[in-house]
Amino acid sequence: MTQAKIYPQHIDLEPVMRVQGTVRLPGSKSISNRTLLLAALSEGTTTIHDLLASDDTSVMLDALRKLGIQWEQVDERTHVVHGAAGRLPVGQADLFMGNAGTAIRPLTAALAVIGGDYTLHGVERMHERPIGDLVDALNAVGANIEYTGNPGYPPLHIRAGKVQPDRIAVRGNVSSQFLTALLMAAPLMAVDKPVTIEVVGELISKPYIEITLNLMRRFGVTVGQDGWASFTVQPGQTYQSPGSIHVEGDASSASYFLAAGAIAGGPVRVEGVGKDSIQGDVRFADALEQMGATITKGDNWIEAKSNGVLKAIDADFNHIPDAAMTIAVAALYADGTSTLRNIASWRVKETDRLAAMATELRKVGATVEEGPDYIRVTPPDTLSHATIDTYDDHRMAMCFSLASLDGAARRGNAMRINDPKCVAKTFPDYFETFSGIAQDTLS
Ligand SMILES: O=C(O)C1=C[C@@H](OP(=O)(O)O)[C@@H](O)[C@H](O)C1
Ligand SMILES: C=C(OP(=O)(O)O)C(=O)O
């Protein structure tokens, strides 16, 4: 076991020669926050098993409470949400959304359609993350949403409007969460006639739309689809509680452990996601396979094992923008230059991830080319010890734990990661769990 030393300001990860073990994943952030909102909008009570416990789900739970939705946590792994059947008991509230895109975007659409007097704000970075395409789409069909800071960004002030359109158009090239938000609110708009949501231009991060449609179906609403161009909800469909629902393990969180297995021996098995997962990020395993790792999958697990040095990869990662960050760090262990393409959305997430990734990969000795929507990584012969800055981005912290694996071990120095507690956004116990798969350390 590695002796990870946790300090308030940084964590020192001793070089790890070999990883092996089984990790039980925390719940999926994307499924947890969608499920909470859909349960709140449903008729009936929903028991949710294995909800993610993290900053992003706390802000959603707190917001729902403030809006008058009753919920209880009945034991460590079980929450019960009492749906309010498309209404919100509290008509006026000030809601703190942290930095959770999956909370602020869907809630904005739901609140604008249901009507009331609501303000939504978040951490400083949240106020730099775009929401203009969603606000424009809603205001164009009768919503009343105002920016109280910079136009195009939270904070927002939502007042009652009248939103019952036939058609609503939204751009999908900055974030798929805008379309997700409109889809989830669509049954509330389609009161007596169908509503069609049209995607204007390109749609990014498509697998997240599949998650949305899948969960809407489980809550009793089906959506007609014309490819990725438009989505129609027929009138008279209301959300109905499925009774109980289980949240899969988080496939993005799985990526760090699978990559560790692919880099440093393995096998490493993640439990909680498997062959039939509804999360697009399970396709991260295909990328690792392409890099030469051996991947095996069961119904509820995925395992990765290394086969010597990884092969460099050149691929489009638009479908898995979050897990793609893990590939950028795994590329440090590849036999040549890797190129990750079509990832412009990295610039508007928790930080400018293209800039942050380039800066931190250079610190460990990589040669990096940062393009407007791509990154090219050439590994050094030997990784250098470095102090990694994390930019209040959970994924920067989690990805760079991989830089403590065998390549780094050749130098025998610890890898320092600043502000490790930022992992609380989606995986509060990340570093403890990572320590659990480390078998041999050089300390
Ligand atoms: O809908 C979702 O659950 C998410 C969609 C993706 O965002 P974009 O659509 O902005 O790429 C992803 O990066 C985010 O972590 C979660
Ligand atoms: C982009 C992310 O989060 P959000 O849901 O806040 O968009 C992420 O978790 O990588």
- Which one, of 133, 138, 210, lies nearest residue 171 by Cα? 133
Q: Above 70 in pLDDT, residue 221?
A: yes
Task: Report the DSSP beta bridge partners of residue 95.
Answer: 120
**Count of helix runs (H) and strand runs (E) in the chain:** 13, 25
Phi, psi torsion values for 43, nearest 5 degrees: -90, 130
Which is the closest atom of ligand 1 to the Cα of 176?
9
Name the DSSP class of 54: S
pLDDT at 432 over 60: yes
Q: Cβ(208) to ligand 1 under 6 A? A: yes
**pLDDT higher than 60, residue 4:** no
Residue 342 exposed, middle or buried by CB count within 10 Å (0-12, 13-18, 19+): middle
Q: Which of 406, 167, 442, 88 is closest to 263 using CA atoms?
A: 406
- Sorted by where each starts, the structural domains of the chain and their CATH numbers stand as 10-27+248-439 (3.65.10.10), 29-228 (3.65.10.10)
Is the pLDDT assigned to residue 90 strictly greater than 90?
yes
- Is 105 a residue whose pLDDT tops 50? yes
Q: Is the ipTM of this complex over 0.90?
A: yes
Residue 318: CB within 6 Å of ligand 1? no
Is 1 or 415 the better-scoring residue by pLDDT? 415
Residue 101 CB less than 6 A away from ligand 2 = yes
> So what's the pLDDT on residue 216?
98
Lookup result for tokens 């169908």: 194
**pLDDT of amino acid 8:** 72
Q: Is the pLDDT of residue 133 over 90?
A: yes
d(C-alpha 182, C-alpha 188), whole Å: 10
Which pLDDT score is estimated for 2?
42
| Strand 265-271 to 301-305 pairing | antiparallel
Q: Is the CB of 30 under 6 A from ligand 1?
A: yes
Catalytic site residues? 322
For residue 34, say whether it is annotated as part of any ligand binding site.
Answer: yes
Q: Is the pLDDT of residue 414 over 90?
A: no
Contact 292, 311 (CB under 8 A): yes
> How confident is the model at residue 34, as a pLDDT?
99
Q: Separation of 207 CA from ligand 1 center, angstroms? A: 9
Q: Tell me the Cα Rg of the chain.
A: 22
Annotated binding residue at 237?
A: no
410 band by pLDDT with thresholds 50, 70 and 90: low
Residue 9 in tokens: 């300001």
Specify the pLDDT at position 1.
Answer: 38
Find out whether the beta carbon of 55 lies less than 6 Å from any atom of ligand 2.
no
Q: How far apart are CA 37 and CA 411, in angstroms?
A: 48
pLDDT band at 3 (very low <50, low <70, confident <90, very high): very low
Mean pLDDT over residues 103-125, rounded? Answer: 98
pLDDT of residue 120: 98
Give the pLDDT mean for 94-107: 98
Among 65, 98, 99, 77, residue whose Cα is nearest residue 27: 77
Ligand nearest the Cα of residue 317 is: 1
* Pocket flag, ligand 1, residue 317 (CB < 6 Å): no
Average pLDDT over residues 157-163: 96
Distances (CA, A) of 275 to 9, 207, 281, 300, 423: 38, 15, 12, 7, 26
User: For residues 391 and 400, is the Cβ–Cβ distance under 8 A?
Assistant: no
Range 247-256 burial, b when 16+ CB lie within 10 A, else e: bbbbbbbbbb
> Distances from the Cα of 28 to the Cαs of 231, 251, 361, 394, in angstroms?
25, 7, 27, 14
Nearest bound ligand to CA 30? Answer: 1
- Assess whether pLDDT exceeds 80 at residue 7: no
Q: Whose CA is nearest to atom 10 of ligand 2?
A: 322
412 — pLDDT class (breaks 50, 70, 90): low
Residues with Cβ within 8 Å of 7's Cβ and at least 6 positions away in sequence, in order, are none
Flag whether 316 is marked binding: no
Tell me the percentage of the chain whose pLDDT exceeds 90: 93
Q: Please give the model's pTM, rounded to 2 decimal places.
A: 0.97
Which atom of ligand 2 has the smallest separation from the CA of 33? Answer: 5
Take atom 3 of ligand 2 and give the residue whose Cα is closest: 101
Which numbered atom of ligand 1 lies nearest the CA of 30? 3
Task: Provide the CA 6 distance to its chain's centre, in angstroms.
Answer: 25
What are the backbone dihedrals phi and psi of residue 207, each rounded to the nearest 5 degrees, phi first?
-60, -20
Convert the pLDDT of each residue in 208-219 to its tens digit. Answer: 999 999 999 999
Instruction: For the chain, give the percent of residues with pLDDT over 70.
Output: 96
Which tokens hold the place of 135? 């606000």
Average pLDDT, the chain: 96
